[in-house]
């Protein structure tokens, strides 16, 4: 969820992985999926089984997806494995009823869709939209910095993070780079992830900041938030000094960092022509709590929603007969840059989804689209804007309106705001809750207090930009925008089931209510 300022079981040792999967003798093999499922204790209710929980798979997805680029790449991999066909926006499409397709933009935005076998021009799209980005630190274009005897990395803040939580963490870098090919005639787009602890932002000792516990920890984000990379080594020989000076003058980033990246990419430093890197926490996502009922992880906002939506789409049409009686097009839309307002070519503010719907309608109509075909499609479509929700904090219960206090493990939270910070209406809320009711899935309600500001989502952006009926909902969580967040394990499976039920049954539910007669 964007911050708007308008009127695996955890036994953590910071320098090493110590979840059940890493805290084992090196001679033992890595646990199989079955072993992981037993360790996770993934049952979500009295009638659920280990085999139908997606919690273990979510943890795998989170641990793969250190950045929005990696999240999109992993989603792409899973779609290809499930039989979806990759499209390119700059090429012609040849779509068929019953087909499953997807495309990416900037490798940080993804649109996937499955076309019902009984689709007719003018039928609606049933969409779940989420976002791939999370608050983080990003390297500046010129990140090399030296202070005292330390090699530092200059960073800029992205989104509304709880930046004090980034101190004293084992950090590293991940993102994408542009690499010159061996022939020198082309450039390659590659993702990189340095898994070992590489960076750290140390706090100031209390002996040098005696009043910090009384006055609060208030770091200056420009001067106090620079990660340490290494000690600066004194050059002893004239030759090594000249070599170091030459490297430093050519590089906008620390030569040592560039060498680490080149080792990961198996290329020469000089072949790396551009980098776009996030600072990331190296601690893996895992289960926690006395009964393993919590998920402890970074980037739950909003990769938890993204994965539940993606998995629901894949599983709702995995068998040949799943789309046999479907008239609608089932779609998932994962956007970038929600945390900073969505105003980018890969964000929800761009016409990506609008253009995709128009292209799909036109292609399926053999490009003979009637004057009202697209408009009729939009009128019959429905969007679920899925973004994490604020669960009630046991130590700060007064921050929630007393009759709207969502709890963990109690189902999806439907978000309301009279001032349209969320796009939910009485009609869209009813229809989405009806999906849950028919499938015995619980829902909760949230409104912000009148004396507090309200965040927002991509819901109002898409509702107003496309003109599509929209409901805003999310999984309840704690510690939103912290480097480590918390949500309930059961809520993941409830969200997945609710989203899957939405795809499978919304066509019939939508026919039960007519508003504009």
Which residues lie below 8 Å from residue 433, measured CB to CB, with a gap of 6+?
414, 443
- pLDDT of residue 246 exceeding 60: no
Is 20 domain-assigned?
no
Identify the band that residue 373 occupies on the pLDDT scale cut at 50, 70 and 90. Answer: confident
Where b means 16+ CB within 10 Å and e means fewer, 213-228 reads eeeeeeeeeeebbbbb
| 431 and 311 co-located in one domain | yes
Is 147 domain-assigned?
yes
Instruction: Please give the residue that has the higher pLDDT: either 46 or 473.
Output: 473
Domain count, the chain: 2
Q: pLDDT per residue over 310-354, tens digit each?
A: 999 999 999 989 999 999 999 999 999 999 999 999 999 999 999
| 391 and 309 co-located in one domain | yes
Q: Which residues, listed in sequence order, are joined to residue 478 by a DSSP beta bridge?
A: 486
Give the structural domain span for 190.
136-207+217-231+251-281
| 130 and 142 co-located in one domain | no
Q: pLDDT per residue over 413-445, tens digit each?
A: 999 999 999 999 999 999 999 999 999 999 999
| Residue 33 burial (C-beta neighbours within 10 Å; 0-12, 13-18, 19+) | exposed
- pLDDT of residue 36 exceeding 70: no
| 124 and 190 co-located in one domain | no
Average confidence (pLDDT) over 150-167: 97
Residue where the block lists tokens 């009759």: 403
- pLDDT of residue 32 exceeding 50: no
| 177 and 73 co-located in one domain | no
Average pLDDT, the chain: 89
Is 6 domain-assigned?
no
| 90 and 160 co-located in one domain | no
Is 410 domain-assigned?
yes
Residue where the block lists tokens 């309106």: 401
Instruction: Decide if 101 contacts 112 (C-beta within 8 A).
Output: yes
Q: Which two tokens stand for residue 402?
A: 């007393």
Average confidence (pLDDT) over 402-422: 95
What integer pLDDT is reported at residue 288 of this predicted model? 97
What integer pLDDT is reported at residue 183 of this predicted model? 76
Least Cα distance to 29 among 37, 39, 21 occurs for 21
Helix (DSSP H) and strand (DSSP E) numbers for the chain: 12, 20
CATH number at residue 190: 2.30.250.10
User: Strand 382-386 and strand 125-131: pairing?
Assistant: parallel
What integer pLDDT is reported at residue 65 of this predicted model? 98
| Residue 463 burial (C-beta neighbours within 10 Å; 0-12, 13-18, 19+) | buried
What integer pLDDT is reported at residue 243 of this predicted model? 54
Cα separations (Å) of 379 from 320, 325, 468, 469?
28, 21, 7, 8
What integer pLDDT is reported at residue 251 of this predicted model? 75
| 223 and 96 co-located in one domain | no
Taking the CA atoms of residue 84, residue 87, residue 93 and residue 94 in that order, the dihedral angle to the nearest 10 degrees is: -20
- pLDDT of residue 475 exceeding 50: yes
What integer pLDDT is reported at residue 368 of this predicted model? 64
Instruction: Choose from 136-140, 144-148, 417-421 the range with maximum mean pLDDT.
Output: 136-140
Residue where the block lists tokens 């085999």: 51
Identify the band that residue 372 occupies on the pLDDT scale cut at 50, 70 and 90. Answer: confident
What integer pLDDT is reported at residue 45 of this predicted model? 35
- pLDDT of residue 388 exceeding 90: yes
Spatial distance between the Cα atoms of 454 and 474, rounded to a whole number of angstroms = 15
What integer pLDDT is reported at residue 242 of this predicted model? 55
Identify the band that residue 41 occupies on the pLDDT scale cut at 50, 70 and 90. Answer: very low
Provide the edge-to-edge strand list for the sheet that holds 228-231. Answer: 187-193, 171-180, 272-281, 136-147, 150-158, 228-231
CATH number at residue 89: 3.40.630.10
Instruction: Please give the residue that has the higher pLDDT: either 184 or 75.
Output: 75
What integer pLDDT is reported at residue 181 of this predicted model? 87
User: Strand 109-115 and strand 228-231: pairing?
Assistant: unpaired
Where b means 16+ CB within 10 Å and e means fewer, 164-185 reads bbbbebbbbbbbbbebbeeeee
* Intra-chain end-to-end CA distance of the chain, in Å: 35
Q: pLDDT per residue over 289-306, tens digit each?
A: 999 999 999 999 999 999
What integer pLDDT is reported at residue 11 of this predicted model? 35
- pLDDT of residue 492 exceeding 80: yes
Identify the band that residue 47 occupies on the pLDDT scale cut at 50, 70 and 90. Answer: very low
What integer pLDDT is reported at residue 40 of this predicted model? 46
Three-state SS for 288-334 is ECCCCCEEEECCHHHHHHHHHHHHHHHHHCCCHHHHCCCCCEEEEEE
Average confidence (pLDDT) over 51-61: 92
- pLDDT of residue 249 exceeding 70: no
- pLDDT of residue 285 exceeding 50: yes
| 125 and 141 co-located in one domain | no
What integer pLDDT is reported at residue 182 of this predicted model? 78
| 354 and 260 co-located in one domain | no
| Residue 247 burial (C-beta neighbours within 10 Å; 0-12, 13-18, 19+) | middle
Which residues lie below 8 Å from residue 213, measured CB to CB, with a gap of 6+?
206
Average confidence (pLDDT) over 235-239: 55
- pLDDT of residue 15 exceeding 60: no
| 350 and 463 co-located in one domain | yes
| 410 and 479 co-located in one domain | yes
């Amino acid at each position: 969820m964007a911050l708007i300022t308008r009127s695996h079981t955890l036994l953590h040792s910071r320098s090493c992985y110590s979840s059940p999967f890493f805290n084992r003798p090196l001679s033992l093999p890595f646990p199989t999926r079955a072993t992981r499922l037993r360790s996770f204790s993934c049952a979500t209710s009295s009638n659920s089984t280990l085999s139908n929980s997606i919690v273990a798979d979510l943890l795998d997805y989170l641990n793969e997806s250190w950045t929005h680029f990696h999240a999109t790449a992993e989603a792409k991999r899973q779609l290809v494995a499930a039989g979806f066909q990759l499209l390119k926006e700059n090429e012609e499409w040849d779509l068929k009823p019953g087909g499953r397709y997807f495309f990416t933009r900037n490798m940080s935005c993804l649109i996937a869709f499955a076309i019902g076998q009984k689709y007719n021009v003018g039928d609606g799209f049933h969409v779940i939209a989420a976002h791939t980005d999370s608050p983080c630190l990003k390297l500046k274009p010129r990140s090399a910095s030296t202070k005292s005897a330390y090699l530092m990395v200059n960073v800029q803040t992205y989104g509304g993070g709880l930046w004090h939580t980034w101190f004293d963490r084992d950090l590293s870098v991940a993102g994408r780079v542009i690499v010159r090919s061996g022939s020198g005639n082309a450039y390659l787009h590659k993702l990189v992830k340095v898994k070992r602890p590489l960076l750290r932002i140390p706090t100031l000792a209390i002996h040098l900041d005696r009043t910090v516990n009384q006055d609060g920890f208030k770091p200056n984000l420009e001067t106090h938030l620079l990660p340490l990379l290494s000690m600066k080594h004194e050059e002893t020989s004239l030759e090594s000094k000249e070599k170091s000076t030459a490297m430093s003058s050519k590089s906008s980033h620390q030569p040592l960092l560039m060498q680490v990246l080149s080792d990961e990419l198996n290329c020469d430093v000089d072949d790396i022509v551009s980098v776009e890197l996030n600072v990331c926490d190296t601690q893996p996502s895992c289960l926690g709590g006395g009964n393993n009922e919590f998920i402890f992880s970074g980037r739950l906002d909003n990769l938890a929603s993204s994965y539940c939506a993606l998995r629901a789409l894949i599983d709702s049409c995995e068998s040949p007969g799943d789309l046999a009686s479907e008239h609608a097009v089932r779609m998932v839309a994962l956007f970038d840059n929600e945390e900073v307002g969505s105003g980018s070519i890969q964000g929800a503010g761009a016409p990506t989804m609008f253009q995709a719907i128009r292209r799909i309608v036109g292609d399926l109509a053999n490009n003979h689209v009637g004057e009202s075909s697209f408009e009729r499609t939009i009128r019959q479509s429905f969007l679920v804007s899925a973004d994490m929700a604020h669960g009630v904090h046991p130590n700060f219960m007064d921050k929630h309106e007393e009759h709207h206090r969502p709890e963990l493990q109690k189902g999806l939270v439907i978000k309301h705001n009279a001032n349209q910070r969320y796009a939910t209406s009485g009609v869209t809320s009813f229809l989405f809750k009806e999906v849950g009711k028919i499938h015995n899935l619980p829902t909760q309600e949230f409104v912000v207090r009148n004396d507090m500001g309200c965040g927002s989502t991509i819901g109002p952006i898409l509702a107003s930009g496309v003109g599509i009926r929209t409901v805003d909902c999310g999984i309840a969580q704690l510690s939103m925008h912290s480097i480590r967040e918390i949500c309930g394990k059961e809520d993941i499976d409830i969200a997945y089931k609710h989203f899957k039920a939405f795809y499978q049954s919304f066509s019939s539910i939508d026919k039960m209510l007519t508003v504009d007669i």
